[in-house]
Structure 1
Amino acid sequence: MPDLRAGLQAKYLPQNRYANFGPSLKSVHIRGFRGVHDLKVDLLYPITAISGLNGAGKSTVGQLCLGAYRKPSTVTEIKRFYVRDFFPASVADPNPFGPDSSVVFEYNTTDPVAPQTLTVARAAKEWSGYKRQPERSCYYIGFTIYIPKVEQRDLSMYRSQQLTLGPQRPIPEGVRERVGRILGQQYDAMHFQGITHGQRSGELGVAQRFGAQYSENNMGFGEGRTLYLVDLMEHSPEQSLFVIEEPETSLHGNAQHELAKYLVDVCHRRHHQVILTTHSSIILDALPADARVMLLRDAAGVAAFPQMSAARAKSILTGGHHRDLSVLVEDTFAKLLLTEMIRRVDPPLLACIEIFEVGNTKAVRSGALLMARIKRPFAAVRDADVGPDPQNGLFSFPGTMPPEREVYMRAEVQARLADEFGIDVAHIFTQHQVDNHHDFTKILAAQTSTLPDFMATLAVRAYLDAIGNAAYQPIVAGIQTRLP
């Protein structure tokens, strides 16, 4: 199946962005809210998953984004959000913002290099800057989107024997199937049942499964919340903005993964923009690097670290209860290459470190900056075409090209693969017009009917034999110096 994440990324390229997503948010720059003194968050993907420790400022970012738009004049059933909705001043909280607090919103426009900029700031006792905002339907999916009826003291519970059933609102088959896919369940049917008691009215979600019918009064929290969330995202106007608080709540691991896939799918189909807060490494891992932002709050304030890997986020969110040293590399091939280098020079070192694949060169640099700021021991090894910066813990692989090119273009490696598989590596790359070095292993493995991991390991070992230990001993020595 095609990777919808890449398809969604293509739709969100600067030259395609406005045509598909309209005046979506490009960035938000926050000054002076809940201890967030000066924070800019770039929104690089239609979905932005903001992670961080409790109190880092995740909800602050999401809630302020809801104040970026006017309600469409054609929409009546939703409310418009203002800054005051989320930051009320009171005797208990006299200063949730300062006198100079402001939010600068950047919106995508028809010109990829000329976003619209608008500032909402404090003017006397009110907030100004709303009038020129573009229109968009905005939805806040906090924890009250679905509160179990028993906790609400809902009429469906305490007046259950005196209810009058009203019309049913059908739930389309597509919604039912998507809810079932997220939860790992197969539903025969779903609908919303209207209910009344006196002057009060409401509705109940009703599901049929395995020949039994039950209402949301007998659903778990995760099941009920997923139903309401999917129904809302499918029936809201296209190009809506959704801010979702911790969508993983009460969902098992696979359901979290499927929910992340659903968010990609619905944004691909309906061109929504989603900003969510999460502590789930499963959700982070299911989204591409451009969708991830880690917030860190310390004595210097709150800082944003984009494109943070799910593994790195997990390490931070669990307080670093992992190995003594985190080593950051770009991808799987780089991890294999570094592992084999260390195995040849200092095998016990592998038990003291954990190697994380964090993405591209920018993500490695961002990860290194974050590790330095939170004072956690780290080292980073970048591709040879970027270069080292050992004083800041950044090292570089041997050569002048990305690791895959250094390895597979080496004559000794090609000879080793010819002996093993009877193939001409250069001819295969020419025949298949392989320009992307990330595809080298996959193409050769397919040609030889072997596993990509086996192919890569053979190639890496032949390469290390050819260049000799002296070529990479300095990298291992540099990592050793970074151990606490």
Structure 2
Amino acid sequence: MTFKSEVRDSTINALLDKAGQRSYQQYLAKMTLKKLRGFSEEPISFDFPVTAIIGPNGGGKTTVLGAAGIIHRTIPPRAFFSKSGKYDSGMQDWSIEYEIVDRAVSPRNSLQRTASFKSLKWNRDALSRQALLFGVSRTVPASERRELLSCTSRKFSVPDARVSPFSAEINESVSRILGKDVSGFKEMKVHASGNVTLLTGQTSTGVGYSEFHFGAGESSIIRMVAAIEGASDNTLVLIEEIENGLHPVATIRLVEYLIWAAERKKIQVIFTTHSNEALRPLPSKAVWSATKDKLFQGKLDVASLRAITGQIETASVIFVEDDFAKTWMEAILRQSERAIIDHFQVHAMSGDGTAVAMNKYHNDNPSITVPSVCVIDGDSRQEDSEEKRVYRLPGEAPEAYVFDNCLNHWSVIGGKLSVALLQRFEDSEKVLELCQDVRRTNKDTHLLFSQIGEKLGLVPERTVAAAFTTLWAQVNTKEVQDIIMKVAQGAEASASASTG
């Protein structure tokens, strides 16, 4: 089934508008990595208050996170960009430019700030804004944290006055993320200063236990939520590898919590991730891909990053707009007499602009030897071009085109399509009537296949889309062969250009 976030579309749209209009007291709106590690003149905008940075290992995710942090006084540059004597000579002349909202300093206009590394030190026009950094070390078990060693003594105890329950807001948020009741959990101050704390939990039967018996993800979530709830409004929150120690469902719930916290407390969150689940609740504008020297905006499958950076074992790559285009393109490739599908990987992007941009980056990068082409939808405003290896699928609205074409060929494919839809062959006329009824009442053609699936008894949308595209490909041989020929010739031309 298609994932449906519990965050309402109205909440997402309101936060997109709020970020677009800069309706914040403090907010990091944009930054340009003028020169920073492998990046040169790379801009990134924060168009949603919760931003995900994805990318392969070594792609620059943490570099972007660090760049966002160090313009704030509470985040020291050494937290991300330490210099190790002569071994880091390449740091000279690093520079980052920022566009920042700070109404206390400039009530009407954005501020321009710079952080740069010159003369063996960082120089920055740092701003006063609360910032929280949750690094990967947050998931280190309590038994491996040196500051808690004194708590392992059999005689360890603290006065009751230094043991506090969490607020209802924290309990509710943590319980939802972890999927368990944490109302009996508490925090104790190991020392009177409160600099070191230890968590305690409670089983459903009332048996108490300390943080030494917590899961790493469990501990990190409680501490993270407690810190965010205790922070002031407009705080910047930076999180490395948000999925560390978490079940995929907990990762989704954590991101949803951060979106609600952004709505409620006006915080801004930037996190890095390798997880598809972390991207699911976010709009496309909230996702940026870091690929060693370039930044791309738009939601895509994390696995696609291997194709973008050339880290794949395949002959060629095809970039398409979305999951339906991927399903359709794979159905087309399966009709090739030369089994061309074995030589291609199809990757769904988050729109035609992203697909075209990724294809250009892929083919322009001299370090990538695997050629690529791009296939956009028929209604795309992007330009199709033989020279740029960008081709177009037939029809206007993709789902409607495939759907209507299959209905027009029902006398030929109706029985097979019914079976592919998990129905009986002899019920093809009933299935046709159902499809015609859905088509008459449909207002959004992107939902056609999910609506058919619901009417047929909760058949997954992916199954319905695969059935229609496969049968479409079997009866539209001329269109199929035309697309296959263009894609194959485009890949060969890309390969020749890269080796020539």
Range class of TM-score, shorter chain: 0.7 to 0.9
Identify the residue that residue 447 of structure 2 maps to in structure 1.
439
1:166-185 matches, cutoff 5 A: 166-185=161-180
- 3-state SS of paired residue (1:477): helix
Could you list the per-position Cα deviations for residues 398-433 of structure 1 after superposition, in whole angstroms to 9, with x for gaps in the alignment? 23x13123334559539768955454978865655x
Q: Percent identity?
A: 20
Deviations 1:351-409 (A, max 9, x none): 3333222221112113213432252332321011335223333211123x131233345
Give the structure-1-normalised TM-score. Answer: 0.80
User: Are 1:381 and 2:375 an aligned pair?
Assistant: yes
Moved more, 171-180 or 10-19: 10-19
The match for 1:80 is 74
- The one-letter code matched in structure 1 to 2:148 is D
Measured in 2, the distance between the counterparts of 1:448 and 1:178 equals 37
Give the 3-state SS of the residue equivalent to 1:249 in structure 2.
coil
Whether the 8 Å CA contact 1:243–1:274 is kept in 2: the answer is: yes
Corresponding residue of 1:116: 110
Residue type of the alignment partner of 1:382: I
Match of 1:243 in 2: 238
CA 1:266 to 1:370, structure 2 compared with 1: closer, same or farther past 3 Å? farther
Contact in 1 for aligned 2:19/2:48 (Cα 8 Å) = no
Structure 1 position 53, deviation (Å): 3.4
Are 1:207 and 1:214, in contact at CA under 8 Å, matched by a contact in 2? yes
Distance 1:319 1:258, change over 3 A: farther
**Among 66, 70, 74, the residue aligned to 1:67:** 70
Within a 5 Å distance, the mapping from 1:260-271 to structure 2 comes to 260-271=255-266
Q: 1:323 to 1:252 in 2, by over 3 A?
A: farther
Deviations 1:192-234 (A, max 9, x none): 123348x887431111124321111332322221211121122
Query: What letter matches 2:133 in structure 1?
Result: Y
Q: Distance in 2 between matches of 1:362 and 1:368?
A: 10
After superposition, where does 1:312-391 map in structure 2 within 5 Å?
312-313=303-304, 315=306, 320-321=311-312, 323-346=314-337, 348-372=339-363, 373=365, 375=368, 376-386=370-380, 387-391=383-387
Question: What is the CA-CA distance between 1:86 and the residue it aligns to?
Answer: 4.4
1:106 maps onto 2:102 in alignment: no
Contact (CA 8 Å) 2:316, 2:344: kept in 1 or not? Answer: yes
RMSD: 3.8
Measured at CA, do residues 45 and 204 of structure 1 come closer, stay the same or move farther in structure 2, by a change above 3 Å?
same
Alignment of 1:64-463 (within 5 A): 64-69=67-72, 80-81=74-75, 83=77, 86-89=80-83, 91-92=85-86, 95=89, 97-99=91-93, 101-107=94-100, 116-122=110-116, 127-130=123-126, 133=127, 136-145=129-138, 147-150=140-143, 151-154=145-148, 156-157=150-151, 161-165=155-159, 166-187=161-182, 189-196=184-191, 202-211=196-205, 212-285=207-280, 287-297=282-292, 302-313=293-304, 315=306, 320-321=311-312, 323-346=314-337, 348-372=339-363, 373=365, 375=368, 376-386=370-380, 387-399=383-395, 401-410=396-405, 413=408, 419-421=429-431, 423=433, 431=441, 434=443, 436-446=444-454, 451=459, 452-453=461-462, 455-456=464-465, 459-460=468-469, 463=472
Inter-partner Cα distance in structure 2 for 1:42 and 1:9:
17
Alpha-carbon displacement from aligned partner over 1:316-351 (angstroms, at most 9, x marks no partner) = 599734544332222233223223323334372233
Letter in 1 for 2:345: E
Contact 1:57 1:295 in 2 (8 A): yes
Deviation of the 1:251 alpha carbon? 2.7
Q: Any conservation in 2 of the 1:445–1:455 contact (CA below 8 Å)?
A: yes
8 Å contact kept, 1:294–1:305: yes
CA distance in 1, matches of 2:80, 2:346: 40
How many residues are treated as equivalent by the alignment? 459
Tell me the SS of whatever aligns to 2:270.
Answer: strand
Q: Distance in 2 between matches of 1:414 and 1:115?
A: 60
Q: 1:141 corresponds to which letter in structure 2?
A: F
Deviation at 1:157, TM superposition (A): 2.8
| Shift in CA distance, 35/115, structure 1 to aligned 2, threshold 3 Å | farther
Give the letter aligned to residue 384 of structure 1.
G
Going from structure 1 to structure 2, the CA distance change for 1:117 and 1:52 (only over 3 Å counts) comes to same
Q: Distance in 2 between matches of 1:22 and 1:346?
A: 61
CA contact (8 A) 2:139 2:245 kept: no
Distance 2:150 2:487 in 1: 63
Tell me, which stretches of 5 or more residues in structure 1 are unaligned?
70-78
Structure 2: tracts of 5 or more residues without a match: 415-427, 496-500
Distance of aligned partners of 1:352 and 1:335 in 2 relative to their CA distance in 1, 3 Å threshold? same
> AA paired with 2:34?
R
Q: In 2, are the aligned partners of 1:87 and 1:96 still within 8 Å (CA)?
A: no
**Does the 8 A contact of 2:198 with 2:210 survive in 1?**
yes
For 1:103-128, what per-residue CA distance to the aligned partner results, in whole angstroms no more than 9, with x for missing partners? 22123699xxx972412145887725
Q: Secondary structure of the equivalent of 1:31?
A: strand
Distance 1:149 1:317, change over 3 A: farther
Give the partner amino acid of 2:323: T
Q: Give secondary structure in 2 for the equivalent of 1:263.
A: helix
CA 1:391–1:18 in structure 2 vs 1: closer, same or farther (change >3 Å)?
A: closer
Change (3 A) 1:263 1:346: farther
**1:341/1:147 CA distance change after superposition, 3 Å:** closer
Q: 1:316 to 1:409 in 2, by over 3 A?
A: closer
Structure 1 residues 173 and 209: alpha-carbon distance in aligned structure 2, compared to 1, 3 A threshold: farther
- Deviation at residue 241 of structure 1 after TM alignment: 1.0
